[in-house]
Amino acid sequence: SKKKGLSAEEKRARMMQIFFETKDVFQLKDLEKIAPKEAMSVKEVLQSLVDDSMVDCERIGTSNYYWAFPSKALHARKRKLEELESQLSEGSQKHANLQKSIEKAKIGRHETEERTRLAKELSSLRDQREQLKAELEKYKDCDPQVVEEIRQANKVAKEAANRWTDNIFAIKSWAKRKFGFEENKIDKNFGIPEDFDYID
């Protein structure tokens, strides 16, 4: 089965994770080496984060330098969320007012131009509201707290994998002592790869 590529938001979150974990300043070529290879267009992802004030960019000489620190990103995110929430609340108010106007227009039995216009406006407001909700979701992905949770989950998974590695080494050692098996035969019979080792 074909592996599903990362969504644009997952790519943005991965990129923010690189910045937050390293707290370093990068050029585009550095990020292209570090970023996951899953068809990630580093340049586009980076530009979208710069446009949303999540990442800073400064031209020095002939090169662009990029950086993002959790505190700055958090403030930018909060500002954007407040702005989106206020637009959403304003949209909801307009929606409610329009709904009332439509109810009034329905009282007249004939389809009026006014009613048609209001219905169109209501439909456009609904679309705007959905777009705003989607954008609010988008900003959750770049939350430093979410990135930290991902990091912790990776750490737990790595520790678990290394515990299993311990167990496998212990079983191999026991089998060698008990049955006098050669290590490469144990590996072959149990499908253990030659380069099997702990995860750094």
State the Cα–Cα distance between residues 200 and 196, nearest whole angstrom: 12
Question: Which parts of the chain sit beneath pLDDT 50?
Answer: 1-2
CA–centroid distance for 2 within its chain: 21
What pLDDT does 2 receive?
45
How much is the pTM? 0.36
Q: Give the pLDDT confidence score for residue 105 in this predicted structure.
A: 64
DSSP for residue 60: E
Q: For the segment 14-35, what is each residue's pLDDT rounded down to a tens digit?
A: 888 888 888 788 888 888 887 7
What dihedral angle (degrees, nearest 10) is formed by the CA atoms of 6, 11, 14, 15?
150
Q: What is the pLDDT of residue 195?
A: 76
pLDDT at 1: 39
